[in-house]
Amino acid sequence: MPFEHSWTQVANVIFVEQPLFTGYSLSGLDEDSYTDDLINADRLVTFVRRWLERFPEYASSDLYLGGESCK
């Protein structure tokens, strides 16, 4: 039984590693090893759209995006 005051009662979090080949993210296509900010943004938008298509129950929830960079 979940803790009744847990943040998971009111929020969901998805961590997306970008660009490809960082952490555990992989691709079987050699051309995916080339990337830039525009390609990364396009891939993230594609991911979010496809994720919401697969899990439409989250489509009405607020969406907040955050990022981190080592640069």
Residue positions annotated with a catalytic role = 69
Distance, CA of 24 to CA of 21 (rounded, Å): 7
Distance, CA of 62 to CA of 71 (rounded, Å): 29
CB 52 within 8 Å of CB 61: no
